[in-house]
Structure 1
Amino acid sequence: MHFLTRPLCASLLLLCHAQTALSDLGMVVNDDASLKKGAQEIIAPMMIFYKQNQTEGIPGKLTDTWYVAGSMFMTLIQYWQASGDDSNNDVVSHDLMFQAGENYDFFSANYSQWLGNDDQMFWGLATITASEAGFPEREGKPSWTSLARAVFNEQVGRWDSQVCGGGMRWQVWPYQAGYQLKNAVSNGGLFALAARLARFTKNNTYTEWADKIWDWSAKSGLLDVTKWLVNDSVNNDDQCKTPDSLQWSYNYGTYLSGAAFMYNYTNGDEKWLKRVNGLLGTTLQTFFPQKYGSNVMSEVACEPIMTCDRNQICFKGYLAMWLAFTSILVPSTKDQIMPKLQGSMEAISKMCNGQSDGQNNLCGLTWGENKFDGVKGLEAQMAALGGVTANMMLLTAESPNTIDSNPGAKEHNVPSSGSGQDPSEPKPITTADRAGAWILMVIMVAGITGSVGWLVKP
């Protein structure tokens, strides 16, 4: 380059500087307009990835996974509530209801032979998010609250008291790898769903279940309420005596957010405040490492060595939004949480500058690097969107709705065009269901083995 003239060099430097400036999404703390614009830039490639990865064009069914679309809808609903941007609402509304299945319980016969409890649970969290956000109901369909309750009732019907005194197994069926595990996200997710249903519906049955799930989690070793650790799983094979201590952000987020909803619902019960504060302290210490100034979130179990799979890439976005909920529902936590979420957002703004295959604003995995690290896909975009949405939630400080403020979300029966079953009634796993699944396993063992292989242990 030594042969370039000085004016040309100066021009190139200015061009490079301009490109660098444009690569930053330009999001600014406490600037709602810049956050909304940045979020829209992140959503655009995410929705392209969504369409590209639909299995045979089935709405809400992604190749080699099912729950990720549900968690994406959860994120987009929360984004809509915080921003007012309804540009994706039609897709979210249609595709979320489409995947509710023939019994409106997110346990469709198309997938039920290989689903985990955590898979179904995420769709329940998506629908209770819709109720809390005031997301428009679909005419002639069950309310979002009814769908959330259907998931809850079906899941508590699988509560396993035979080993370790209770708990939700990771997987539904005995032939699945991981059936012997009772993991944090399945139990913490059901706890969060119970807590949110309790607050939304004011039905104390959910309160009782929230207490039950929390107490069992602490007794089993999933929750260490002395050190305030959330372990990844316990194993039925050793009577749940040796917890797996892997640390994942979304495990903490489920228990933390559920405790925050319970604190708010119980009008400040000190029991729940202690739990919120205990989990929050460990969460902020663990997932905001000093390497990035202690204010940028990191998935510390896999991110430093770049081994995060598609599931783990998603986790930070969930935690970000659940931290925002905690700040809103437990105001005393706001001063601790706000700088962490703001620092993460500023890093996201710098990081979402990737370009590949004609797409711009790809977000990557490692927020703290402040530049695109080459990891691309729907999951990376969704996590970043969750981080931005969390900051928008802080600005609005809008408390999630209850049935009092969103009466249109009341529970009701499925329409006559459905199965005729009230989604508020549990759908137990029958002997016939199990027999049919075992026959399917024998016939399609190779296919099933492949279909569950992508599932992760956390």
Structure 2
Amino acid sequence: MKPFRRRSLLAAGFSAILSVQHVLAIQLDLQSTDSIKAAAKTLAGDMVSYYTGYRPGDVPGNLPSPYYWWEAGAMFGALVDYWYFTGDDTYNAITTQALLHQVGPDKDFMPPNQTKTEGNDDQAFWAMAALSAAENKFPDPPEDQPQWLALAQAVFNTQAARWDTTSCGGGLKWQIFAFNTGYNYKNTISNGCFFNMASRLAVYTGNQTYADWAVRMWDWCSAIGLRDAQYNFFDGSDDNLNCSQLDHIQWTYNAGTFLVGAANMYNFTGGSQEWADRLNGIIGNLKLFLKNNVVYEQACEPVGTCNVDQRSFKAYLARWMAATAVKAPFTYSLLKPILEASATAAAAVCTGGVNGTSCGLKWTEGTFDGSIGVGEQMSALEVIQSNLIDIVSGPVSQDSGGTSKGDPNAGTSSDIGPSDLNVGEVTTADKAGAAILTVLLIFFVAGGAWWMVT
């Protein structure tokens, strides 16, 4: 074959591939409910394609490497949202299976095989998925299984018991166990997720105690400086220095978790001006994460350093912006345009992968950037399906149609408090032995739980 002929055939083949990707790219018309649902369906399918936990012999609830346990909990939270927004129950069975399989022996999302990686924020992401299930009336588990509200309450109770006054005047440490790196760091996402849960539990149950804890957390973060007067939310502080110095890096999900927490406190207090002012402050400072009203991860996207975790952060900001617009309706006109612009931009970069519908990371660039994974897909899914907030019923509470059964005392007898965490550093031999035991536990215990749940 002559060289020019080979080149022309290759060019034709490449053009054909590009044309197929163009056809298969996410088509999104924000004026059409059907179009939004169709886009969400494609995105959800691509996201779930990374998940293997439903397969016999695998562990329900776990994503394969390189994803950590917490992101799996976040993904199932996205699938709870997916069912809520679209009514499509395709993934309800694996979502229920995963959430129930990972509750741990004390039903507080503390599975023993995650001890080496589980921090307070990790635990909270699973609890927030369960809390969303309660708020959205996701189908309740069988009566002999842990219930969504009780699971969220259990995690709240375990974390309230970890409020640490030995340094910084309070707050939660990032890590639960002293042998994990980051034990001496009090980070904003762990404390913000606690604020998130407390405020939402206050609204769902009507219990003032949760609201009091939310106020306590907000005040502590403000006093320490994790939130400043301009509503910047910094990453965290070293409690060995008594939180006298801050890591000033900012992430979308830190702003997002305080945003939705403040919205729920606004709702709980009947629309108090104090919480309205705080909401306006947070929303006003979201400009840090926006380019032409499109969300981007300003700390890592421009320089191409976003790691696996960080590639999912925009999903949570989108999720919590939508919830904020519902819980504090005056914010709708401020937040909906961001969701719309970001959804349009996200859909435009979902042209990668084998199917031509894998989403890139950088929505602001207008083209697929080659970055694919659970985080990229989940972020696009959440921001696109969030544009359905106008056509779904609002979240429920115990007094407005909620069916999930709670237990205010859940988790109070099983918590590992701060005084239990000062154990020695784990040695290499310990880690190796733990790895072997974990593998055996997975095969013998998880397999049985698979059949029990299904």
How high is the TM-score relative to the length of structure 1? Answer: 0.86
In structure 1, the residue matched to 2:171 is 167
1-structure distance, mates of 2:271, 2:167: 34
1-structure distance, mates of 2:125, 2:17: 43
Runs of 4+ in 1 over 3 A off after TM superposition: 11-21, 52-56, 430-435, 437-443, 445-449
Moved more, 368-377 or 179-188: 368-377
In structure 1, the residue matched to 2:449 is none
In structure 2, the residue matched to 1:43 is 44
Counterpart pick for 2:215 among 189, 211, 219: 211
* Inter-CA distance 56–183: structure 2 relative to 1 (3 Å threshold): farther
Deviation at 1:23, TM superposition (A): 3.8
Is 1:400–2:395 an aligned residue pair? Answer: yes
In structure 2, the residue matched to 1:419 is none
| TM alignment of 1:351-390, pairs within 5 A | 351-356=349-354, 359-390=355-386
In structure 2, the residue matched to 1:330 is 328
Is 1:153–2:157 an aligned residue pair? Answer: yes
Deviation at 1:122, TM superposition (A): 0.5
Secondary structure, aligned partner of 2:48? helix
Secondary structure, aligned partner of 2:212? helix
2-structure distance, mates of 1:17, 1:428: 54
Offset from partner CA, 1:311-338 (integer Å, 9 cap, x none) = 1011001101101111112122111211
* Inter-CA distance 376–448: structure 2 relative to 1 (3 Å threshold): farther
Q: Is the 8 A contact 2:21 2:352 kept in 1?
A: no
Counterpart pick for 1:427 among 392, 414, 419: 414
Deviation at 1:392, TM superposition (A): 1.6
Q: CA RMSD in A?
A: 2.8
2-structure distance, mates of 1:171, 1:243: 17
1-structure distance, mates of 2:274, 2:434: 44
Q: 2:148 is matched by which residue type in structure 1?
A: W
1-structure distance, mates of 2:406, 2:165: 29
* Inter-CA distance 260–426: structure 2 relative to 1 (3 Å threshold): farther
1-structure distance, mates of 2:263, 2:161: 25
| TM alignment of 1:261-410, pairs within 5 A | 261-283=264-286, 285-289=287-291, 294-356=292-354, 359-393=355-389, 395-396=390-391, 398-410=393-405
Deviation at 1:24, TM superposition (A): 3.2
Q: Is the 8 A contact 1:221 1:234 kept in 2?
A: no
Moved more, 167-176 or 212-221: 167-176
Deviation at 1:368, TM superposition (A): 1.7
* Inter-CA distance 324–426: structure 2 relative to 1 (3 Å threshold): farther
1-structure distance, mates of 2:433, 2:174: 20
Deviation at 1:446, TM superposition (A): 6.8
Secondary structure, aligned partner of 1:314? helix
Deviation at 1:389, TM superposition (A): 1.8
How high is the TM-score relative to the length of structure 2? Answer: 0.87
Q: Is the 8 A contact 2:61 2:97 kept in 1?
A: no
Offset from partner CA, 1:257-310 (integer Å, 9 cap, x none) = 000011011110111111111011101x11112xxxx22110110011121111
Secondary structure, aligned partner of 2:361? coil
Q: Is the 8 A contact 1:55 1:61 kept in 2?
A: no
Q: Is the 8 A contact 1:118 1:185 kept in 2?
A: yes
2-structure distance, mates of 1:214, 1:448: 38
Secondary structure, aligned partner of 1:102? coil
Structure 1: where are the runs of 5+ without partners?
414-421, 450-458
2-structure distance, mates of 1:212, 1:348: 37
Structure 2: where are the runs of 5+ without partners?
436-454
